[in-house]
Amino acid sequence: MSDALFKYLVRLADDTVILSHRLGEWCGHASHIEEDVAMTNISLDLIGQARNLYSYAAEVEGKGRDEDQLAYLRNEREFTNLILVEQPNGDFGKTMARQLLYSAFMLPFWEAMMASKDKQLAAIAAKAEKEVTYHLRHAAEWTIRLGDGTPESHRRMQEGIDELWMYTGELFVKDEVEERLIEAGIAIDPESLRGAWERTIEEVLTRATLKRPEDGWMHVGGRNGVHTEHLGHALSDFQYLQRAYPDCTW
C-alpha cells in the first residue's frame, strides 16, 4: 500500500508543480500589474501544494529523498502529471481555459479528499480546497469576460477551450494505483467527480457564450510517463539551476 500511496502523492505533486511553473512564466508578462500579481499568487499556491505532497511522498517512500530531489532530479519519463497541465501557455485566453478545465476538477477533488482516511492527505486537501476555490473563480471570471467580450476575445477563448478539450479525458482515468487506494478509503474515484466538473464547465461556458466541444478522442498517457514534447522543454527550464549547480542551497 505504501508504494501505491507514494505514486499517488507524486502524481498529484507533479500536476501542481508543472502547472505552477507554467503560470510562473507569466510573471512580468501579464496584461496589467494586478493580473501579474494574481497569476503569481496562484502559482505560489500550487508550489505550496506541491511541496506538501512531495514532502509527504518522500516520507512515505523512506529512501532519504526530499521534495527538491523529487521535483528537480527526475527525468521527463519519471513525471506522471496530467498532459493538460504541461501544455504551453499560449495567449491569455488559452491559459485561462487550461486553468478553468483543471480547477473545475480539482475543487470537488480536494473537497472529497478532505474525508480521506489518510489524515495527512486530508489535511493537505483542506488547505488546497481553500486555494483552489479562488483559482476556479479567477479562471471562470476571466473566461466569461473574454468569451462574452469582443469578437476577438471570444474567438481566442473558444480556440483555447477547443484546443485543450482533448486532454480533459485524462482527468477521469484511474489505474491500479488509484483503485487500491480507493478501496482503502484513501483516494477518490475520479469518475465520481465527472458530474460536478461538467456542471461547472457547462455553467461557465454558457455564461461566456462559448460552445462546449464535442467529446471525441482523448489524449492520455501522462500518468504512465508518456508526455507531449512540451514537458521536456518545461523541465529544462524548471530544473536548470539544480542541474547546473548540484545540491545548491540558498
Give per-residue pLDDT as tens, 169-189: 999 999 999 999 999 999 999
From residue 33, how far is each of 27, 135, 138, 143, 145 by CA, in Å? 10, 18, 15, 19, 18
Asked if 106 contacts 166 with a C-beta cutoff of 8 angstroms, the reply is: no
Residue 39: name the closest of 22, 16, 51 by CA: 22
CA distance 167 to 63: 33
Q: Which of 76, 101, 112, 109 is nearest to 230 (CA)?
A: 76
Q: pLDDT tens digits for 3-25?
A: 999 999 999 999 999 999 999 99
Q: Which residue has the higher pLDDT, 36 or 195?
A: 195
**Would you place residue 30 in the very low, low, confident or very high pLDDT band (cuts 50, 70, 90)?**
confident
CATH placement of domain 2-244: 1.20.1260.10
| Confidence bin at 1 (pLDDT 50/70/90) | confident
Tell me the three state secondary structure of residue 44. helix
**pLDDT score for 138:** 97
The dihedral through the CA atoms of 57, 39, 27, 222 has a sign that is positive
- What pLDDT band is residue 110 in, cutting at 50, 70 and 90? very high
What pLDDT, on the 0 to 100 scale, is given for residue 105? 98
| 190: its cell numbers | 475520479
pLDDT-derived band at 243 (thresholds 50, 70, 90) equals confident
pLDDT value for 15: 98
CB of 174 within 8 A of CB of 182? yes
Position 36 pLDDT exceeds 80: no
- Taking only the tens place, the pLDDT of each residue in 140-174 is 999 999 999 999 999 999 999 999 999 999 999 99
Nearest to 222 by CA among 231, 210, 214: 231
Query: Degrees (nearest 5) of the Cα angle 125, 231, 16?
Result: 10
Q: Residues 77-91: pLDDT tens digits?
A: 999 999 999 999 999
Is the pLDDT assigned to residue 122 strictly greater than 90?
A: yes
Higher confidence at residue 249 or residue 181? 181
* C-alpha–C-alpha distance, residues 204 and 184, integer Å: 35
Cell of 105: 476538477
User: What's the average model confidence in pLDDT over 95-109?
Assistant: 98
Tell me what pLDDT residue 116 has.
97
According to the model, what pLDDT value does residue 159 have?
98
Query: What is the chain's mean pLDDT, rounded?
Result: 95
Out of 36-40, 98-102, 135-139, 226-230, least confident range: 36-40
CA distance 175 to 231: 22
